[in-house]
Amino acid sequence: MKKRAVLLCFAVVIAILCSARAAADIAPEPEEYSPAEKYLPRQETSKPMVALTFDDGPSGQYTLQILDILRQYDAKATFFLSGYRLTENQYAVAREILNEGCEIGNHTYSHTDLTTLTPEEIQWEIDSTNDLIFAATGTTANLLRPPYGEFDENVLSAGYPVVTWCIDTLDWMHMDPQKSLQAVQENAFDGCIILMHDMFETSAQGCRLIVPWLIGEGYELVTVSELFAAKGQTLSSGSTHRWAG
């Protein structure tokens, strides 16, 4: 029994020594690490993002002024165009929106509250506007912004993602660039969609304040489609989208 106990003890010591050696073998020498492997993989920290949106245009000079401001800051936005505004002399403005890397959305032809229309009339409002967008730019809009943000089941069934907003600058109402800025300063968050109108000089002036403020706060200004793609979210037809995230 005693001999057996000594043998067992010896075996345990050998086992411990072997496992310690094995551990030493497994542990790589420090110089085997490449510098990158010394640290945990770095998380891709994406910047906070917002989508500025402009409704009711195109309106010639104001749309172009806003595009100029966006270009200065390498910022993008989405322009929801009204069909009745997209006359032939505005085709070049629509093309300029796309040339600047911005996005065009559909704001219907006549800017009527769609909840007052039949499904056929809703379809005509959307299709005729997309026909004009196509005539101007060679592409059509994938996103629908219903006038006044009003929608019902018929609007949701029209085959487009409905994009509304979560921050309304009310630029059309107060016509005060500072108040538009203030609305953004008080409410901006990562993933938000901001409503403005490229119809007024005061809105372009508001844009001149809002864009640098957002950039200064670390926001990246992207199109609605880019915003949702960046957040890994789908803009699905039949759904409404007020923000991403």
Residues annotated as catalytic are 55, 197
**Closest distance between Ni ion and the C-beta of residue 228, in Å?**
21
How many CA atoms lie less than 13 Å away from 12 in the CB half-sphere? 6
**Closest distance between Ni ion and the C-beta of residue 87, in Å?**
17
Which of 85, 220 has the CB closer to Ni ion?
85
- CA separation, residue 139 to residues 48, 128, 133, 135 (Å): 29, 13, 7, 8
Q: Which residue, among 40, 52, 31, 57, has the nearest Cα to 207 in the 3D structure?
A: 52
CB distance 167 to 188 below 8 Å: yes
Amino acid at 1: M
Residue ranges in contact with Ni ion by CB under 5 A: 55-56, 147
**Closest distance between Ni ion and the C-beta of residue 151, in Å?**
13
Instruction: Point out which residues pair with 50 in neighbouring strands.
Output: 192, 221
Question: Quick one: which H or E segment has residue 194?
Answer: strand 192-197
Which of 171, 226 has the CB closer to Ni ion?
171
**Closest distance between Ni ion and the C-beta of residue 197, in Å?**
7
Which of 80, 219 has the CB closer to Ni ion?
80
Which of 49, 58 has the CB closer to Ni ion?
58
